[in-house]
Amino acid sequence: MRNFITVLCTFVFLSISANDMLPIKKVVDTDTSVILWKGKKVTGSHEGTIKIKEGNLLFEEGKLFGGSFIVDMTSIVCTDLQGKSSKKLQGHLMSNDFFSVPNHPTASLLISSVREKKAANSYTVSADLTIKGITKSIDFDATVTANRAASNIIIDRTDFDIRYGSGAFFDNLGDRMIYDEFELDLDLRF
């Protein structure tokens, strides 16, 4: 009987320990998570928000190792303009000049690898980003805590065939030139 209890206790302990090492999927709370975007041009900048449709982060032994996100491109909002000006810019961003939203209503990000940095809860992430059906590999830093992840991602729009107003593709744009890089600030809650 004593051996049976020892074996049972060992089995329970190993089962609990094994469960602690299983990957954990944390689902992103799409209602409280925020993506802020910012695009710059010679004469200023515009900014706004865009919503996450769904997403998750994967953890193993408390460390980030993967995840994926789908962004609702139909949710692009401009927050620095009001009324007709805001609607006009939002419509232009959704047009074929920029994100071609009628043809590509979502964008996605799939984490391919994660490297832990020396700072606590800090990672360098490699991911495949898909915009307008074009997939490119990007790298960015992220800070991840128990229920929150934050990152600032710089994206070169021309990698995704978004060339409107780009000085790299058009001459004599003057003050109508739009810089190729745009910025995403992610504040994800799960």
pLDDT in tens, 180-190: 999 999 999 99
Pick from 184, 185, 190, 189: which is nearest to 160 by CA? 184
Predicted pLDDT of residue 166: 81
The count of structural domains within the chain is 1
Asked if the structure places residue 11 within a domain, the reply is no
Asked if the structure places residue 18 within a domain, the reply is no
Give CA angle at 135 (118, 122), nearest 5°.
10
Domain at 112, CATH number: 2.40.128.110
Is pLDDT at 104 greater than 50 in this prediction?
yes
Q: Are 136 and 128 in contact (CB under 8 A)?
A: yes
Range of the domain at 64: 23-189
pLDDT in tens, 18-58: 455 689 999 999 999 999 999 998 889 999 999 999 999 99
**Assigned domain for 80 exists:** yes
* In-domain check, residue 150: yes
Mean pLDDT, all residues of the chain: 89
Q: What is the pLDDT of residues 131-167, one digit of tens each?
A: 999 999 999 999 999 899 999 999 999 999 999 878 6
